[in-house]
Amino acid sequence: MSENGHDHEHGNGAAGTLTKADFQSGQETRWCPGCGDYAILASVQALMPELGIPPEKTVFISGIGCAGRFVYYMDTYGMHGIHGRAPALATGIATAREDLSVWVVSGDGDSLSIGGNHLIHSLRRNVPIKLLLFNNQIYGLTKGQYSPTSETGKITKSTPFGSEDHPFNPLALALGADASFVARTIDVEKVHLTEVLRKAAEHEGSAFVEIYQNCNVFNDGAFDAVRGKGGGPNQIRLEHGQPLRFGAENERGVVRSADGGLEVVEVADVGADAIVVHDAHIEDPSHATALARLADAPTGPTPIGVFRDVKRPVYGAARQHELLEAHANATLGDLDELLRSGDTWTV
Amino acid sequence: MTTTSKKLETVIVRFAGDSGDGMQLVGDRFTAATAHVGNDLSTLPDFPAEIRAPAGTPGGVSAFQIHFASRDILTPGDHPNTLVAMNPAALKAHLDALEAGGTLLVNEDAFTPANLRKAGYEANPLEDGTVEDYQTFEVPMTTLTTRATDDIEGLKPAEAQRTKNLFALGLISWMYGRPGKATISWLEAKFASKPAIKEANVAAFKAGYNFGDTAEIAATPIEVGPAPLDAGEYRNINGANATAMGLLAASVKSGLQLFFATYPITPASELLHHLARHNRFGVRTVQAEDEIAAVNMALGASFGGKLGVTATSGPGMDLKAETIALAQVLELPLVVIDVQRAGPSTGLPTKTEQSDLLMAIHGRHGESPLPVIAASTPSGCFDAAVEAARIAVRHRTPVILLSDTFLTNSSEPWRLPSMDDLPEIDPDFAIGPNAGDEFLPYLRDERGARPWAIPGTPGLQHRLGGLEKEHGSGKVSYDPANHALMTKLRAEKLEKLAEELPPLVVDADEGAELLVLGWGSTSGVIGAAARRIRGRGLPIAIAHLRNLEPMPLNTGDVVRSFDKVLIPELNTGQLLSLVRDKFLVDAIGHNKVEGLPILAEELEQAILELIE
């Protein structure tokens, strides 16, 4: 068999015949009842057949944490690695096998604490992997310590007097690493989540998607300002080419602030023409960064959707074709020749 | 032209100078010329960790020793017959090593009051009797080099002076009858784009050569004829390059693209530099963001059906340990190369040691046995790399290949192997179900190995992971009995591998009561010391382990069949501890942790103390 075929054709029927069931493994799911991960899993399993990539060409890689179990529930190729290193494992497989669709599932502790280095470097390289960051702002699997996205002052078992740490803004971090695709969505917003993931899948290169995910056991309600009932009015839904308006009556909007960033205003105060029109394709990450900084914490108006989607050379793509061809043509005779190149002598 | 010359069987020359003096280059060129003459040879580059260590101080001295002979030799030699000292610091650092009555060549110009002070000399050693027991030649190398390059247009005085290493090389080349042609054409190619520099280097080399030849120096040239090596085609090679070639060979032979991910670290980086050049063989090299990323990338590539390899040195091994344990549980092929250096921590980063053996075998959490093999000579790194890849692929396991600083930098003539002799390396990818209609990723074959089903193979989708897996199905399992079974099955893979290993070969004289057992780069010195013992008419036995985990099945019988077992190691007794532990044999250690190889005379002495 060919391990290195570049075609996206597959051996077990046309993409159109794939169903959600083709992506469901038999392994029993073991998240806490009510966990946001169930909703994400269901949406991902439903999306996969629509992408037209067969399960055998799809690989899910995860690290440690509740999100890490995700790979066991997908009937694709998968690897549950060690804490924080999933982007590095995924870089290996995606670089070696550009014919595969490679996804990373990770949490805020996994990706932003122990694995921060691999996250930023995979984004800067623009490795063709889709990174899903399940952000619940807490360590769940280790039973409730604060995480690098927990708010300052967070009271947990490990911080009984409140956390002293300043949290990461994951999107600003990704943009700082020059990520070519940066988006945010919410676990229970099935339609929105599916559309964001579809765009991530279509993106060539690294796609970073932060998913607000409720941990109903250790950090319940962390995203209530933007999630579930009553959260809608605070969602600033980003649509490329559309003005940044939101609110129950679309009465609020985003304008340029005096300090060069963005700020939220009442449309009535500034007029509809002053509202900034979203452009996800600007080369310069300033606009996306200003949007990411509009809400450092999901406690008020918060943008969701695709912040940035630009084209940048994809890591490995240019060379792997040549290397595979070279490898396929290399013979033991070539090796003999290599060993004998340079200074040799005969006894 | 000098008409008389003295014939010698074996010669040791050491070049020593400031780390900016170009001693390694001189050593490499002298080695190339020596290989051309057809001598057997062995080299020992020895340099400081700093790129530009404090100039003029003993700590900043860079040295290169070469042992060459008209017979086969096994080590870079103990004491140089000739020492070239480019400055007082080099003399200070290396004079003690020079054999009694040996030849000393110094760059007289460098013995200035300032340089003497920096070297820690209170008086000029050339004048106070320090060097009177040696055949000393004080040569004004800087002056002569400057004069020889005087009329080269566009050459700055500092550039002219920098070529004094070539003057020294020229003089030594004359002294040992090494042809200059190859050196000159190498210089011409190397500096083709810088005509003035090229001309200066060639002029300095010729000046040094002629300085000897015109009898301005009262030394007799020495002739060392070709060695009667086995017939074949030879090249000179160091351990780093031999390892790279071995990995390429394994890649071509197995049909697996080589995926080499690493993070720069001395001395393992050399391997990356070699492999990064081999586009032609489809080698994919990645310089990762850190050691942990490197091993994970290699492991990810292995999952994808590539020959995943990473390389590092001690500190990097510590960082990779968790991932190596993951690979052990995933049961995927992975080659991890540890070019050992003197530790712990940053230690002596450019000096050699064999102190990672126990870490390689035991240095992971949980019960995670995996195969460990060690290269024992620079050229032997080729076979060791092929063997590491073969075991990794055939037995679906991470393999640790131990090399060290000495092996990686040292070079020797290598009789080029025939690619037809390479062992079979069959990836044997799973292509369909293995249990009726089902695919069980943890169903084992007679070797205890599980199937290697790579993404892209329809119907064989499965999930690997660090959580314990159920025997056969590979599903996550917390069942206590299953964990015990899987622990046992993983250990049994090594037992099955041991059954396939060739027995430990013992080279024993009749009546030998002492066995000298070694592993890794002490192979040469053990052989050399044994020759000395045999030269004294005393019986001895020697054996060398390539497979450290598992060991060949007869190892216990071998060590138990001698009255005494001596284990020389560049550590404080790691194989010693294993042998005592596994075989309950009260072996004796000969240990050295000075960052330098054991000398033959040191080991000879240790052996004599045990057998006399």
The nearest alpha carbon in chain B to A330 belongs to B281
B321 and chain A in contact, CB less than 8 A: no
Interface of A with B in 177-196 (CB under 8 A): none
Q: What angle do CA A117, A123, A128 make, to 5 degrees?
A: 125
Facing A97 at nearest CB: one of B252, B293, B455: B455
What is the C-alpha to C-alpha distance for residues B228 and A123, in angstroms, rounded to an integer? 58
Q: Which residue has the tokens 């640790």?
A: B400
pLDDT of residue A319: 86
Task: Tell me the DSSP string of B268-321.
Answer: THHHHHHHTT-GGGT-EEEE-SSHHHHHHHHHHHHHTTSEEEEEE-HHHHHHHH
Distance (Å) from the C-alpha of residue A193 to the closest C-alpha of chain B?
25
CB contact under 8 A, A96 and B476: no
The nearest alpha carbon in chain B to A59 belongs to B455
* pLDDT interval class at A16 (50, 70, 90): low
Interface of A with B in 276-305 (CB under 8 A): none
CB contact under 8 A, A326 and B322: no
> Which residues are CB-contacts of B488 (< 8 A; sequence separation ≥ 6)?
none
CB contact under 8 A, B463 and A344: no
Checking phi first, is residue A316 left (phi over 0); if not, alpha (psi -120 to 50) or beta? left
pLDDT of residue B49: 85
Q: Which residues of B touch A317 (CB under 8 A)?
A: none
Tokens linked to A9: 């054709």
pLDDT of residue B1: 44
CB contact under 8 A, A326 and B279: yes
pLDDT, tens digit (0-9, with 9 covering 90-100), for A110-156: 999 999 999 999 999 999 999 999 999 999 999 999 999 999 999 99
CB contact under 8 A, A89 and B297: yes
* pLDDT interval class at A317 (50, 70, 90): confident
> Residue A5: is its pLDDT beyond 60?
no
Q: Which residues of B touch A81 (CB under 8 A)?
A: 296, 326, 465-466
CB contact under 8 A, A77 and B229: no
Q: What is the mean pLDDT of each run of 10 residues along chain B (612 residues)?
A: 75 94 95 91 91 87 96 95 97 96 96 96 95 94 95 92 96 93 93 95 96 74 89 94 98 97 96 94 97 98 98 98 98 98 96 98 97 98 98 98 97 94 96 97 98 98 97 97 98 98 98 98 97 97 98 98 98 98 98 96 97 85
> Residue A3: is its pLDDT beyond 50?
no
Comparing CA positions, the residue from B519, B543, B504, B244 lying closest to residue B354 is B519
The nearest alpha carbon in chain A to B235 belongs to A344
> Which residues are CB-contacts of A304 (< 8 A; sequence separation ≥ 6)?
A184, A185, A186, A189, A192, A196, A226, A235, A236, A237, A238
> Which residues are CB-contacts of B208 (< 8 A; sequence separation ≥ 6)?
B141, B144, B166, B167, B168, B169, B170, B171, B172, B173, B174
pLDDT of residue B218: 60
Could you tell me the domains of chain A? 15-242+280-339 (3.40.50.970), 244-277 (no CATH)
CB contact under 8 A, A330 and B280: yes
CB contact under 8 A, B463 and A74: yes
What is the C-alpha to C-alpha distance for residues B155 and B204, in angstroms, rounded to an integer? 13
What is the C-alpha to C-alpha distance for residues B210 and B60, in angstroms, rounded to an integer? 30
Facing B293 at nearest CB: one of A88, A326, A327: A88
Query: End-to-end CA distance of chain B, in Å?
Result: 50
pLDDT, tens digit (0-9, with 9 covering 90-100), for A78-89: 999 999 999 999
The nearest alpha carbon in chain A to B422 belongs to A332
Is the separation of the CB atoms in A226 and A294 below 8 Å? no
CB contact under 8 A, B257 and A323: yes
Instruction: Give the residue from B70, B248, B281 with the most A CB atoms within 10 Å of its CB, the best one to mutate.
Output: B281
This model of the complex carries an ipTM of 0.95
* Pairing between β-strand B514-519 and β-strand B463-465 as defined by DSSP bridges: unpaired
**Burial degree of B234 (CB within 10 A; 0-12, 13-18, 19+):** buried
CB contact under 8 A, B323 and A59: no
Distance (Å) from the C-alpha of residue B429 to the closest C-alpha of chain A?
9
CB contact under 8 A, A347 and B297: no
CB contact under 8 A, A343 and B182: yes
Alpha helices (H) along B214-263 = 239-254
Tokens linked to B415: 């009789």
Task: Tell me the DSSP string of A198-261.
Answer: HHHHHSSS-EEEEEE---TTTSTTTTTTTSSTTTGGGEEEE-TTSB-EESTTS-EEEEE-TTSS
The nearest alpha carbon in chain A to B431 belongs to A1
Chain A, chain B: beta-carbon pairs less than 8 Å apart: 237
CB contact under 8 A, A25 and B463: yes
Q: Which residues of B touch A64 (CB under 8 A)?
A: 466
Could you tell me the domains of chain B? 6-223 (3.40.920.10), 235-421 (3.40.50.970), 506-611 (3.40.50.920)
pLDDT of residue B221: 82
A151 and chain B in contact, CB less than 8 A: no
What is the C-alpha to C-alpha distance for residues B539 and A174, in angstroms, rounded to an integer? 69
- Residues facing B411 on adjacent strands: B238
Distance (Å) from the C-alpha of residue B101 to the closest C-alpha of chain A?
34
User: What percent of chain A is modeled with pLDDT above 70?
Assistant: 95
CB contact under 8 A, A82 and B261: no
- Return the DSSP state at B149: T
Instruction: Give the residue from A122, A323, A338, A340 with the most B CB atoms within 10 Å of its CB, the best one to mutate.
Output: A323
CB contact under 8 A, A85 and B464: no
CB contact under 8 A, B305 and A97: yes
Is the separation of the CB atoms in B518 and B542 below 8 Å? yes
B423 and chain A in contact, CB less than 8 A: no
> Residue A2: is its pLDDT beyond 90?
no
